């Protein structure tokens, strides 16, 4: 993204307006591949993960899949697996993590949520056999 998402830019502007002394949000879109596209096919300019120092916070976006089979296939893609490796490395060096919607499954696949309480609006499915 060439500019900060509006919520972060607004937070920075309001802090300045009200004289609040705080760290400013600096937002970057980072990718494990040179080309990143949204679920709608829009190209997102990214900084290569190798050129990004450890962030304070990583927000994992949703993958754009809602049904189990396509989601499972997406979680097995090499770019998603590589992103998980980067996420584990950053968290291992002190970064915090958050995820949007189905992005929680990406974080879960890394093992970072093992044995930890995790709030989510996505409930696990229950299967019963007859």
What's the pTM?
0.76
pLDDT value at position 126?
A: 44
pLDDT band at 128 (very low <50, low <70, confident <90, very high): very low
Question: How crowded is residue 15: how many other Cβ atoms within 10 Å of its Cβ?
Answer: 15
Domain ranges of the chain: 6-109
Return d(Cα 13, Cα 2) in angstroms, integer: 18
**pLDDT for residue 130 is more than 80:** no
Return d(Cα 70, Cα 64) in angstroms, integer: 10
pLDDT band at 116 (very low <50, low <70, confident <90, very high): confident
Q: What is the rounded average pLDDT of the residues 29-45?
A: 89
**pLDDT tens digit string along 55-97?**
999 999 988 888 999 999 999 999 999 999 999 999 999 999 9
């Amino acid at each position: 993204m060439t500019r900060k998402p509006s919520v972060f830019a607004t937070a920075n502007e309001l802090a300045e307006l009200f004289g609040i002394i705080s760290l400013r949000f600096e937002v970057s879109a980072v990718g494990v591949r040179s080309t990143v596209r949204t679920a709608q096919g829009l190209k997102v300019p990214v900084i290569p993960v190798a050129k990004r120092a450890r962030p304070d916070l990583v927000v994992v976006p949703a993958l754009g899949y809602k049904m189990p089979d396509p989601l499972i296939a997406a979680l097995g893609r090499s770019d998603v697996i590589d992103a998980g490796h980067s996420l584990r490395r950053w968290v291992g060096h002190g970064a915090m993590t958050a995820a949007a919607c189905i992005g929680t499954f990406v974080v879960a696949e890394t093992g970072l949520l093992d044995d930890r309480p995790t709030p989510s609006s996505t409930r696990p499915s229950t299967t019963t056999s007859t």
